Amino acid sequence: MGALFSLLGSAIFWVATACVAFLWLPLTFLVWLATAWLDPGRFAVGLLLQFGGVVATALQPLWRLRLSGRWIADPRRPYVVVANHESMADIFAICHLPWGMKWLAKREVFWIPPVGPMMAMAGFVGVVRKDRTSRARAFELCRRRLEQRCPILIFPEGTRAVTRDLLPFRDGAFRLAIEAQVPILPVVVAGTRQVWPKGSLRLRPGRVRVHVLDPVPTEGLTDADVPVLREEVRRRIARAREELWREMGLLQPEREGTAQPARSSAHQSTT
């Protein structure tokens, strides 16, 4: 029965996501066209695109999502938002954060219709990680978005982790925050590996948490402080993730790709 529910929920998710994506494309274009001159940072388009992720998530019956942690009162305050990356479900979960972010993503994603064109219209930043020129261009564009009072979201691990271990963080997000003199905002995602294992199209039922930690200031820091800042943020995320795992009952040994059962009714909250 559980396997049937998982298959049915997965089918609903994929159909819902496809429908939302194709419906959102013309809507995104219209909002982009209407706000292009008034909103050079494309904040409104970014919010609309994130809301599409919220709608797609709400239409499937498998995940129980909860937001918690720090409440950001000003959605236009520039932060470099950094989050751990365990699953494609991270993207849908983080979309529920109520401020429009510009996401740093692999350049090839921008060629995937209809999502890629919407990401471009929203002012998201594409990068070819092995190309130094592309990295420099992406860094400059991220800095410009921060100047336009748009938060930037970066996964500092650079890719989804294959195991439960947190991968080493790369320097880029922390160098960007120091150069722009804006705070780092750590975000912790838990439960996504269980509900959407890497390499699988089949989703599982389970609970997902998105927890926002306190901002980490960068005022007065220089490039020499990047390693210390990077490791401090990584330590905070690792510690908070373990606390969430303990709270969610995910610390016990698990069979990779097997979700923990949902223990509460569907809800979203912010504390």
| pLDDT tens-digit readout, 175-186 | 999 999 999 999
Taking all residues of the chain, what is their mean pLDDT, rounded to a whole number? 91
220, two tokens? 């007065």
Distance between CA atoms of residues 107 and 88, nearest Å: 16
48, two tokens? 């609309």
Whether pLDDT at 265 is above 60: no
Domain boundaries, the chain: 2-248
Distance between CA atoms of residues 173 and 182, nearest Å: 11
Distance between CA atoms of residues 105 and 255, nearest Å: 30
Q: Quick: pLDDT tens for 224-258.
A: 999 999 999 999 999 999 999 999 999 865 444 44
102-130 average pLDDT score: 95
Distance between CA atoms of residues 27 and 45, nearest Å: 9
As a whole number of Å, the CA-based R_g of the chain is 18
Task: Identify the residue with better confidence: 251 or 147.
Answer: 147
Give me the CATH code for the 2-248 domain, please: 3.40.1130
Whether pLDDT at 267 is above 90: no
